[in-house]
């Protein structure tokens, strides 16, 4: 009987909570509800048959991204979404019985890709109020540690990690690949990209799925020391990013005003939503992303089901007790959410009592 490798059979399947047709306001996937720049759409409409018939070289796109980020092109690898970059790192640096340190709760795919390599996963829980447990992470480093992942700002908490804490971790594990996932950088402005090359074990992942509104084309980038990136380039598919994605990337990078406007709107609506949720007696954590982690408490399941019946989906986070993750949409969408949430709360047997 044909059997996959044991580590493959034991992997926990990742289930994306893609919304049912009845959902018309998706606030569960951290996507942009505004969409991409009009320049991107115009470029895609002008694509011809010949351009789609040819294999897509990614070098020009990597040069554009390198210039945009202020690094060298040989330090950049374009990937099919940030997920592929995470996968490549695990394939390159993890072996059976080697260890990867992950701070939880966080993005689930880190574990999935690590399990594919048969690595042992050390889960370090966040500290009080989901603070970054820097000393516990450092104490967990040993001779088998081959990779450490830090999501900054973190998903699903929305909290940022202090630069000094990240530096301490990098210095404590010189023989391990340090992945700094900066998927939400555009909303926080916090980055360690100036340390690329100076810290040879540092890798940074970015995505164009969030602030650029391009989740559907799957475009990410991995930045690292040139010798390490050259290794990853050898195991990446030569045509891992497609022609449509490369064309969209070029226009998205050129329209910085669009991205800046979208980020400003999200930050303003996020603050408004947080205040409204506090008014309704729900606790939120301070976020540096395009989402909020909110504690609904005991009635969470009832609230989520009631909102879904009204066409709104939020992301349940069972790894954060009583909590949901709410993507920040337009101001109008946030006002609709609060209006519907007020109706749901008013129908509950008792008013939620927030736990600070």
| DSSP result, 294-313 | EE--TTHHHHHHHHHHTTEE
Say which residue, 237 or 349, is predicted with more confidence: 237
Q: Residue 281, by phi and psi: left (phi above 0), alpha (psi -120 to 50) or beta? A: left
Is-contact 138 165, C-beta < 8 A? no
Q: What is the mean pLDDT of residues 138-158?
A: 98
29: Cβ–Cβ under 8 A, 6 or more apart, which residues? 16, 17, 18, 215, 315, 327
Q: Structural domain boundaries of the chain?
A: 19-33+257-346, 38-254
CA–CA separation, 138 and 148 (whole Å)? 10
The CATH topology of domain 19-33+257-346 is 3.90.1150
Write down the pLDDT at residue 13. Answer: 67
**For the whole model, what pTM was predicted?**
0.94
Q: What is the pLDDT of residues 195-233, one digit of tens each?
A: 999 999 999 999 999 999 999 999 999 999 999 999 999
Radius of gyration of the chain, Cα coordinates, nearest whole angstrom: 21
Q: Residue 170, by phi and psi: left (phi above 0), alpha (psi -120 to 50) or beta? A: alpha
Stretch (H or E) spanning 77 = strand 76-79
Phi, psi of 248, rounded to the nearest 5 degrees? -65, -40
The CATH topology of domain 38-254 is 3.40.640
Q: What is the mean pLDDT of residues 246-260?
A: 98
Write down the pLDDT at residue 6. Answer: 76
pLDDT band at 356 (very low <50, low <70, confident <90, very high): very low
Q: CA-based angle 124:205:14, to the nearest 5?
A: 60
Stretch (H or E) spanning 78 = strand 76-79
Q: What is the pLDDT of residues 102-139, one digit of tens each?
A: 999 999 999 999 999 999 999 999 999 999 999 999 99
Q: What is the mean pLDDT of residues 281-301?
A: 97
Exposure of 54 by Cβ count < 10 A (0-12 exposed, 13-18 middle, 19+ buried)? exposed
Q: What is the mean pLDDT of residues 4-25?
A: 72
Is-contact 147 100, C-beta < 8 A? yes
CA–CA separation, 335 and 331 (whole Å)? 6
Write down the pLDDT at residue 8. Answer: 72
Q: Which of 286, 279, 265 is nearest to 157 (CA)?
A: 286
CA–CA separation, 243 and 49 (whole Å)? 11
As given in the structure block, the two tokens for residue 356 are 């600070």
Quick check: 278 pLDDT over 80?
Answer: yes
Quick check: 168 pLDDT over 90?
Answer: yes
Q: What is the mean pLDDT of residues 222-251?
A: 97
Write down the pLDDT at residue 16. Answer: 62
pLDDT band at 353 (very low <50, low <70, confident <90, very high): low
DSSP H helical segments within the chain, as ranges?
Answer: 6-9, 38-45, 49-53, 59-69, 81-93, 109-116, 134-140, 163-172, 185-188, 226-235, 243-254, 256-279, 300-309, 331-346
Write down the pLDDT at residue 5. Answer: 78
Q: What is the mean pLDDT of residues 322-343?
A: 98
């Amino acid at each position: 009987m044909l059997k996959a490798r044991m580590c493959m059979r034991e992997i926990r399947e990742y289930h994306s909570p893609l919304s049912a047709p009845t959902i018309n306001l998706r606030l569960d996937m951290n996507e942009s509800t505004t969409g991409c720049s009009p320049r991107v759409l115009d470029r895609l409409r002008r694509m011809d048959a010949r351009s789609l018939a040819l294999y897509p070289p990614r070098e020009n796109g990597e040069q554009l991204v390198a210039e945009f980020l202020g690094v060298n092109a040989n330090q950049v690898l374009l990937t099919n979404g940030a997920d592929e970059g995470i996968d490549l790192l695990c394939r390159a640096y993890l072996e059976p019985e080697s260890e990867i340190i992950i701070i939880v709760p966080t993005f689930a795919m880190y574990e999935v890709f690590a399990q594919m390599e048969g690595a042992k996963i050390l889960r370090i829980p966040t500290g009080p109020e989901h603070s970054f447990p820097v000393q516990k992470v450092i104490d967990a480093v040993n001779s088998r540690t081959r990779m450490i992942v830090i999501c900054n700002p973190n998903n699903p908490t929305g909290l940022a990690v202090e630069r000094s804490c990240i530096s301490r971790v990098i210095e404590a594990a010189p023989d391990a690949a340090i992945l700094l996932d900066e998927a939400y950088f555009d909303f926080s402005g916090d980055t360690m990209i100036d340390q690329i090359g100076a810290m040879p074990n540092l890798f940074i992942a970015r995505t164009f799925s969030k602030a650029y509104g391009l989740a559907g084309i799957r475009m990410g980038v991995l930045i690292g020391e040139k010798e390490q990136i050259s290794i990853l380039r050898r195991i990446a598919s030569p045509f891992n990013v497609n022609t449509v994605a490369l064309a969209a990337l070029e226009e998205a990078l050129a329209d910085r005003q669009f991205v800046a406007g979208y980020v400003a709107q999200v930050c303003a609506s996020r603050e408004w939503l947080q205040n409204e949720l506090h008014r309704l007696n729900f606790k939120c954590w301070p976020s540096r992303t395009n989402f909020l982690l909110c504690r609904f408490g005991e009635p969470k399941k009832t609230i989520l089901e009631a909102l879904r019946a009204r066409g709104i989906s939020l992301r349940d986070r069972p790894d954060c007790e009583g909590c949901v993750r709410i993507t920040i949409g337009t101001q109008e969408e946030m006002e609709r959410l609060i209006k519907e949430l007020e109706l749901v709360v008013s129908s509950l047997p008792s008013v939620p009592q927030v736990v600070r």
